[in-house]
Structure 1
């Protein structure tokens, strides 16, 4: 735990996932006093909490890791898309290499923070009433730390086992030969369904919107081939900064209808065979903005998926003739055997658009047609208050006394997707108005982490004690995010990309959609111009 003499830190980082560890590494190298507060009992961030069956990353292994050379040089992955168990092993390896845990306070949940203008320090309080006063507060809490469960009538009545996917027990739940229900068909639900489907007695899936899921093409890795490939890792890490998504792939540089039908078909077959996000990301460059082009893309996907589903009614439910939304407007999942599960005789799909949930009973779920679906285990794959919820669930007060939740109640305002007016010396990563959900996570957090570290280094070198985002810069950034987001087909879906999954939340673009390359250029330019759009001052000077 933090000792009394250590409470006036240079930097307090909240969260011990990829982002928090990456910044800790760099602050240590600079000789700063730094500590991580982590609510969980161990490292891993979202991967510690994602203990549900089938949890797996959907970014290829080469670029879903920290780019710190002393880490990747000696680490070998087992699978192309690592599962949760392997990711936790990776975090323990990172600790062995970097001795991370000595600077982490586990089981330490931050519940409140306010800025003291007299000292230019944050006063941060934990659930256990520990108080620290860091100069800089860095919130590395990710975008999916606040789960969401709809207000199901009578949920407390259910006598079986029931968990939201993010609160799944670390020791797991035995679902073999059990009657299992899954509410939701998002990315998490897809992973759960394909994992438990083959071993349960009966599976009932409650679907509102079908997932436009893509083939993962998982593979076991050869250690020798992987070792040879490592010579290219530095190039891969640099390449991430040159693409829109931070992946090693980018959109095809021509519009869809400039290609002949034959050219399109052969191109799509190639992307489909490659698997992963290739079909979504490497497609024609107008598929995210041209509804007709996107429809052609959908039709190819639909016909491919229907070949794997035996029942014609299920074909229409899982891969409808008319798209439920444009491809990419909701987050596509990567799947391995998802559609085959629905061919099993012990699997039922309940379309909530035709027959909604009336409520819960002691035995299971009652739908509006009067049918009681009896269950032993219920999985609530109902998502998160994504992008903003991780931050707004903490009582963070700005210099005007207004909390970040209150400030964003009618719309999100940030500068560069890392700072917010009236919250000086506070930075956040992988959150609102950054490339976040439209990017490779490890790439995004390293880009932002490097910028924040450089900013703090600049301030300490010049003895600045506070940095305030300006109202004009914040307004300009919000306008840019809104304008870019409005051009995408994403607005045609009710997704967490725009906050539409949370009742009462403002529906608006929550991610910067200009791409990683442009984002890097913009934020680097701000720093190079002496932190344009910010006011820097020393303690005691007028703010």
Structure 2
């Protein structure tokens, strides 16, 4: 027998915890559903060694409760996975949110009843829940790409996936290890494994830019200063382009001297968040020549850090503009290539042929390893919806609709799927921002919207085709006037075979996106059709 509630929230990460908390405060009967046995979302599932956040810890936290942000003390500049998970667990306990979730509950489908204007959500255990409103807080980076390398199933050694890491420590001492992938995950894992492995083979197809984290413990004096300034700084950053409020020169990269520009980049490299590079000069994300100045600077840094010039050149990205793939933080990544036990396998130079029972083969050589670690990335934005059947109007499956390109008006609702809200969905800033700031904005907008609909007696809300098309077209147009026009990364869906090329994150910036959403709400939710 189905359980009837007012609202369902799928996911118990940062977005899901806040959504459930907000909806309960409105007096709604809300049910949270979470596949994992605990809260934390991506910080529960991703627990591989060396994992740290790339946003400073004092910023990667909620702002919606001042007592919470005053009471919690982060221990280091860039928090590790255990500390972030501990924070999520603290929030769940502090605000008594756990009891509103059914854990170990995997959602397999949702069907919209067009007569009752309700969703029936089903789970792997056969349970079902019925609600007027559904909030999908499943995250933009929560579904790993399938392993599609020939021969993968034949490997006789140990295999590990970064997104499904064991809860017990893995000892790589004396082992020959292959790490496949050199995005953020692969960089952090390789840096950790290189410390103890007998041999480490890092398999790289497309190199990533990486900047030193310069991680350090946080002093009581620093934390006190941050907390004293939290109210004003949080508000300022909500209106910024990146959700971080990082400084810039206000000048073109091409109007200053080479010496001035290099000195500015060096200060960022040594002392600041690497994301400061994105707004360092007004044109670095728009003009190719200006963008190249960052690549030239970072390329020189790689050559300084890696002793072998040939290896250094292979580690320097040359096929895409800076900022169009995720820029990574590292704690000694490039230096591992100065160790005799670490070997770079360049898959552009010699493509992968197959995984073998004893290792892997490229077109140039055969390699024997004891362990293979997959750090091959995510099916961003759409992956989770490929694992469930979300059936909207006219029996349309969201998975099939998004096979033509993932699209959502304001990043939160896709045409043909009424009453289904997506947190940080396609065409929202999400992955191009401090995602916690974007989560808070989106969740607050969604839950305020549900409060409005409930108070006004509306039972149905759906995005119009015209509004969605205009929103997606605007985002694509921004992509064409920025260096993203030359990009073929997971930001565009290009890391997954057969996935359509479409600009997935909103490129307008956090502050302008917030203003656009607020304007839509103030205008009676323009672009949506409301019905009683």
Q: TM-score, normalised by structure 2?
A: 0.97
Name 2:8's counterpart in structure 1. 12
- Of 274, 277, 280, which residue of structure 1 is paired with 2:274? 277
Asked whether 1:334 is paired with 2:360, we answer: no
- 1:425 and 2:419 correspond: yes
Question: Corresponding residue for 2:341?
Answer: 346
1:471 match: 465
Paired with 2:468 and 2:525, the residues of 1 have a C-alpha distance of: 13
The separation in 2 between residues aligned to 1:172 and 1:115, in whole angstroms, is 43
3-state SS of 1:415 partner: coil
Counterpart of 1:501 in structure 2 is 495
Corresponding residue of 2:181: 184
Q: 1:217, 1:276 within 8 Å by CA — same for their partners in 2?
A: no
How far apart are residue 251 of structure 1 and its match?
Answer: 4.2
Structure-2 separation of matches of 1:107 and 1:363: 35
Query: Contact 1:141–1:391 at 8 Å: present in 2 too?
Result: no
State the distance in 2 between where 1:155 and 1:406 align.
28
Equivalents in 2 of 1:40, 1:483: separation in Å? 39
CA displacement at 1:511 relative to structure 2? 1.1
SS of equivalent residue, structure 2 residue 338:
coil
Q: Describe the shift of the 1:519–1:324 C-alpha distance in structure 2 as closer, same or farther (beyond 3 A).
A: same
Q: Does 1:36 align with 2:24?
A: no
**1:348 counterpart SS class:** strand
For the pair 1:47 / 2:43, whether they are aligned, the reply is yes
1:86 corresponds, among 77, 83, 86, to 83
Question: Would you say 1:287 and 2:290 are equivalent positions?
Answer: no
Structure 2 distance, partners of 1:277, 1:269, is: 11
Instruction: Compute the displacement of 1:494 (Å).
Output: 2.3
Contact 1:178 1:200 in 2 (8 A): yes
Cα distance change on mapping 1:250 and 1:36 into 2, 3 Å = farther
Instruction: Write the deviation string for residues 11-55 of structure 1: whole angstroms up to 9, x where unpaired.
Output: 100000000001111111111111110001111000111011211
What is residue 355 of structure 2 aligned with on the other side?
360
Please give the residue correspondences for 1:27-176 in structure 2 after superposition, counting only pairs within 5 Å. Answer: 27-67=23-63, 68-176=65-173
Q: State which of 315, 318, 340 in structure 1 corresponds to 2:315.
A: 318
Work out whether residues 247 and 276 of structure 2, in 8 Å CA contact, stay in contact via their aligned partners in 1. no
What secondary structure is seen at the aligned counterpart in 1 of 2:305?
coil
C-alpha distance in structure 1 between counterparts of 2:517 and 2:179, whole Å: 42
CA contact 1:8–1:135 (8 Å) conserved in 2:
no
**What is the root-mean-square deviation in Å for CA atoms of aligned residues?**
1.4
Contact 1:38 1:106 in 2 (8 A): yes
Q: SS in structure 2 opposite 1:13?
A: strand
CA contact (8 A) 1:397 1:403 kept: yes
Deviations 1:112-155 (A, max 9, x none): 10111221110110111111101100000001122113421111
The 1-side partners of 2:234 and 2:446 are apart by 19
Distance 1:282 1:219, change over 3 A: farther
SS at match of 1:61: coil
1:91/1:379 Cα in 2 relative to 1: closer, same or farther (>3 Å)? same
Q: CA deviation at 1:393?
A: 2.6
1: CA distance between counterparts of 2:30 and 2:66? 22
Q: Report if aligned partners of 2:278, 2:285 keep a CA contact under 8 Å in 1.
A: no
Distance 1:231 1:9 in 2: 41
1:261 offset after TM fit, Å? 2.0
Which consecutive residues of structure 1, in runs of 5 or more, have no partner in the other structure?
539-543
* C-alpha contact 2:111 2:392 (8 A) present in aligned 1: yes
**8 Å Cα contact 2:182-2:375 kept in structure 1:** yes
Q: What are the within-5 Å matches in structure 2 for residues 328-477 of structure 1?
A: 328-369=323-364, 371-477=365-471
Q: Deviations over 1:476-533 (max 9, x none)?
A: 1111111112222123232100011101110121111000111011000000011111
| Residue range with higher mean Cα deviation, 116-125 or 269-278 | 269-278
Q: Tell me by how many angstroms 1:106 deviates.
A: 0.6
Work out the CA distance in 1 between the residues paired with 2:321 and 2:114. 48
Residue 247 of structure 1 aligns with which residue?
244
Task: Give the superposition deviation at 1:177.
Answer: 2.0
1:504-515 pair list within 5 angstroms: 504-515=498-509
Cα distance, 1:250 vs. partner?
A: 4.7
Number of equivalent positions: 531
Q: 1:227: how far off? A: 2.9
Cα distance in 2 for partners of 1:425, 1:334 equals 38
Aligned residue for 1:342, secondary structure, equals helix
Conserved in 1, the CA contact under 8 Å of 2:306 and 2:334?
A: yes
**What is the CA deviation profile of residues 427-461 of structure 1, one whole-angstrom value per residue up to 9, with x for unaligned ones?**
00122111111111100110001110110000111
What is the rounded CA distance, in whole Å, between the counterparts of 1:458 and 1:241 in structure 2? Answer: 23
